[in-house]
Structure 1
């Protein structure tokens, strides 16, 4: 779901702020510890892949995902002064809470998962899903924070998301709008630059 928020934020940011300004601002993006985010994402993909091949890694994957989320929360907190980052932090924290309460895995509602098709539902029922998801049941803790919200047509991507995903993507969208759309300060700086240029030309004349 995080990719959806980024894609929507970029698209709206480019439309509102202009292609040139938006790309220039996005290229100047600076986040404290930001290089850790792609690394943490890469590590998750590695664990996904190895879990299919190694029962030992699959058994330890829950602890690994908790550690990854904790590291991500720390980096987000360092950037809390940036617009939207408190929303991102809150969304990730909600997902972290439900995963930590359930052994490092995200519970998925059977009813919501039905939009993903019978193959995925059968894997959930049989327990053969070895990534960070498992089928929600009566013993699931904080189930209301799990993946309980189905998305399908007319939404472009069929998926199941959590409340935390929604909160997180609101934050991503707000941050990208702040980053890519000129604000009052940008307008004032542009006007000042024009005035200074005109004054220098007048002095030269």
Structure 2
């Protein structure tokens, strides 16, 4: 996932800017359990085998709708965090492309070839693969699909969407703000008082 790359990049940049990793735990994110639940629902098909995979494929549109619905709800609950507004827009664009195409993200075959991911093509044409599908002339919202290639020498070649970029940028900014957040004046005063008392 491109999002993971953005997270790692942001943490590295945060360290280089002398930020603190501990401050990530202080981000006032609400509905965190719902965000976690949405990811569980979205990715639990990866662990299914046999007939269950076919069952999931039949209901992937419903599963995707529930997963993204929960994620959007939790993100909207965090509207007070400005970087997450960018993430919300990215999730919404991906959601539109996925729901409009039967619950799967459409992927450009051209982008797959440019990225050197030829082995990925068989999954795009498999009805049992629950996450992506090959773009065709009938594909809706192509512009929001996985149309951008990231080939070698990038260490982890991939294809991604506009929504993925927005999500990554939003998370990058959120982590930067958190790691570099300055202590409030009240915190500084409290620490000074504590040192005097000691």
Pick the TM interval, shorter chain. 0.7 to 0.9
Moved more, 109-118 or 44-53: 44-53
Structure ID, larger Rg? 1
RMSD across aligned C-alpha pairs, in angstroms? 2.4
Asked if 1:14 corresponds to 2:15, the answer is yes
Shift of 1:197: 7.4
- The separation in 1 between residues aligned to 2:50 and 2:118, in whole angstroms, is 20
Which residue pairs with 1:3 in the alignment?
4
Which residue pairs with 1:45 in the alignment?
43
Shift of 1:182: 3.1
Shift of 1:142: 0.4
Number of positions where the alignment pairs a residue of Structure 1 with one of Structure 2? 194
1:143 to 1:127, Cα distance in 2 relative to 1, 3 A? same
DSSP-derived class of the 2:111 partner: helix
CA deviation profile, 1:3-44 (whole Å, cap 9, x unmatched): 1121112221222233xxx12211323310112223322232
DSSP-derived class of the 2:28 partner: coil
- The separation in 1 between residues aligned to 2:119 and 2:58, in whole angstroms, is 23
- The separation in 2 between residues aligned to 1:123 and 1:83, in whole angstroms, is 36
Which residue pairs with 1:26 in the alignment?
24
DSSP-derived class of the 1:107 partner: strand
Structure 1 unaligned residues grouped into runs of 5+: none
Shift of 1:196: 6.0
Asked if 1:73 corresponds to 2:72, the answer is yes
1:49-198 correspondence runs (5 A):
49-50=47-48, 53-54=51-52, 55-114=54-113, 115-124=115-124, 126-128=125-127, 130-183=129-182, 186=183, 188=185, 192=189
- The separation in 2 between residues aligned to 1:29 and 1:52, in whole angstroms, is 41
1:38 to 1:191, Cα distance in 2 relative to 1, 3 A? closer
Question: Would you say the 8 A contact 1:52–1:58 is kept in 2?
Answer: no
- The separation in 2 between residues aligned to 1:72 and 1:120, in whole angstroms, is 27
DSSP-derived class of the 1:17 partner: coil
DSSP-derived class of the 1:150 partner: strand
Question: Would you say the 8 A contact 2:86–2:166 is kept in 1?
Answer: yes
1:65 to 1:194, Cα distance in 2 relative to 1, 3 A? closer
Structure 2 unaligned residues grouped into runs of 5+: none
- The separation in 1 between residues aligned to 2:49 and 2:62, in whole angstroms, is 13
TM-score of the aligned structures, taking structure 1 as reference length: 0.83
Question: Would you say the 8 A contact 2:57–2:127 is kept in 1?
Answer: no
TM-score of the aligned structures, taking structure 2 as reference length: 0.86
